[in-house]
Chains A and B, each alone.
Chain A
Amino acid sequence: MAPKTSAKICGMGHSMKRKEDPRFLQGKGNYIDDFTLPGMLWLDIVRSPIAYGKIKNIDSSKALEIPGVLAVLTGKDLEAYNLHWMPTLMSDTQMVLPTDTVMYQAQEVAGVIATSRYAAADGVAAVEVEYEPMKPVMDPFKALEDDAPVLRTDKEGKTDNHIWHWEAGDKEATDKIFDEADVVVREKMHVPRIHVASIETCGCLADFNPVEGHLTVYMTTQAPHAIRTVLALVAGHVGLSEEKIRVVSPDIGGGFGGKVPVYPGYVIAIAASVVLGTPVKWIEDRMENLQADSFARDYHMDAEIAANADGRIRALRIKTIADHGYSDAQAAPSKWPAGLFSICTGSYDLEQAYAEVDAVYTNKPPGGVAYRCSFRVTEAVHCMERVVDTLAHKIGKDPAQLREENFIPKEAFPYHSPLGWEYDSGDYQAAMDKAKEMIGYDDLRREQAEKRARGELMGIGVCSFTEVLGAGPSKDFDILGIKMFDSAEVRVHPTGKAIARFGTKSQGQGHETTYAQIIAEELGLPAAHVQVEEGDTDTAPYGLGTYASRSTPTAGAAGAMAARAIRDKAAKIAAHLLEVSEEDLDWEPGTFSVKGAPDKSVSIQDCAFAAYTNLPPGMEPGMEATNYYDPPNLTFPFGTYICVVDIDRGTGEVSVRRFVAVDDCGNIINPMIVQGQIHGGLTQGIGPALYEEMTYDEDGNNQAGSFMDYLVPTAVETPAWETGHTVTPSPHHPLGAKGVGESATVGAPPAIANAVVDALAHLGVTHVEIPIRPDRVWEILREKGVAE
Chain B
Amino acid sequence: MATHQITVTVNGAAHAATVDSRLLLVHLIRDDLALTGTHIGCDTTHCGACTVLMDGVPVKSCTVLAVQADGAELGTVEGLAGADGMTPLQEGFQEEHGLQCGFCTPGMLMTGTALLESNPNPSEAEIREAISGNLCRCTGYVNIVKAVEYAAGKMGEGD
Contacts and interface: CB of A to CB of B under 8 A. Distances in A.
A26 B102 CA distance: 10
B137 A199 contact: yes
B142 interface: yes
B98 to A, nearest CB: 9
Interface in B130-159: 131-145
A24 B41 CA distance: 16
A716 B77 contact: no
Interface in A707-727: 707-708, 712, 714-716, 718, 720-721
Interface in B66-87: 76-78, 80-81, 86
Contacts of B138: 254, 508, 676, 680
Contacts, number: 176
A556 B127 CA distance: 37
Contacts of B90: 25-26
Nearest to B136: A199
Given A26-B37, A672-B97, A682-B140, A715 B132 contact: yes
A254 B137 contact: yes
B15 interface: no
A389 B128 CA distance: 33
A34 interface: yes
B contact face: mostly helix, strand, loop, or mixed: loop
Interface in A97-144: 117-118
Contacts of A34: 30, 36
B104 interface: yes
A714 B36 CA distance: 25
A675 B96 CA distance: 11
A718 B41 contact: no
A31 B145 contact: no
Q: Interface extent on A, as a size class? A: 35 or more
Contacts of A38: none
B137 A715 contact: no
B2 interface: no
Interface in B9-45: 20, 22-23, 27, 30, 35-44
Nearest to A509: B100
Contacts of A684: 137
Nearest to A723: B142
A248 to B, nearest CB: 16
Contacts of B41: 199-201, 253, 286
A673 interface: yes
Interface residues of B, number: 57
Contacts of A714: 131-133, 135, 141
Contact of B102 (A253, A287, A716): A253
B63 interface: no
B49 interface: yes
A679 B100 CA distance: 11
A675 B146 CA distance: 14
A287 to B, nearest CB: 6
Contact of B101 (A507, A675, A683): A507
A198 interface: yes
A21 interface: yes
Interface in A224-266: 251-256
B77 A252 contact: no
A707 to B, nearest CB: 4
Query: Mostly helix, strand, loop or mixed at chain A's interface?
Result: loop
A508 B136 CA distance: 12
Q: Which of B41, B47, B76, B138 has the most CB of A within 10 A?
A: B138
B46 interface: yes
Given A286-B42, A286-B43, A721 B135 contact: no
A33 interface: yes
Given A254-B101, A720-B142, A712 B135 contact: yes
B137 A716 contact: no
Given A26-B81, A286-B47, A287-B43, A716 B132 contact: yes
Interface string A664-686: 00000000110110111111100
Contacts of B124: 720
A22 B135 CA distance: 21
A172 interface: no
A703 to B, nearest CB: 15
A508 B102 contact: yes
Nearest to B94: A21
Interface centre among B100, B105, B109, B127, by most A CB within 10 Å? B100
A712 B138 CA distance: 12
Contacts of B22: 118
A510 interface: yes
A199 B129 contact: no
Nearest to B125: A716
Nearest to A29: B102
B103 to A, nearest CB: 3
Contact of A251 (B77, B102, B133, B142): B102
B39 A31 contact: yes
Given A679-B142, A680-B140, A715-B131, 20 more contacts: A17-B94, A17-B95, A22-B94, A24-B102, A25-B94, A26-B86, A28-B78, A31-B103, A33-B39, A199-B47, A199-B104, A254-B137, A508-B101, A508-B138, A676-B100, A676-B139, A678-B140, A708-B46, A714-B135, A715-B127
> Which 6 interchain pairs have the tightest Cβ spacing?
A27-B37, A253-B103, A24-B102, A508-B101, A679-B140, A508-B100
20 contacts: A25-B77, A26-B37, A27-B37, A27-B77, A27-B106, A118-B23, A508-B138, A510-B100, A676-B140, A676-B143, A678-B140, A679-B140, A680-B100, A680-B137, A680-B139, A706-B44, A708-B46, A716-B128, A716-B129, A720-B145
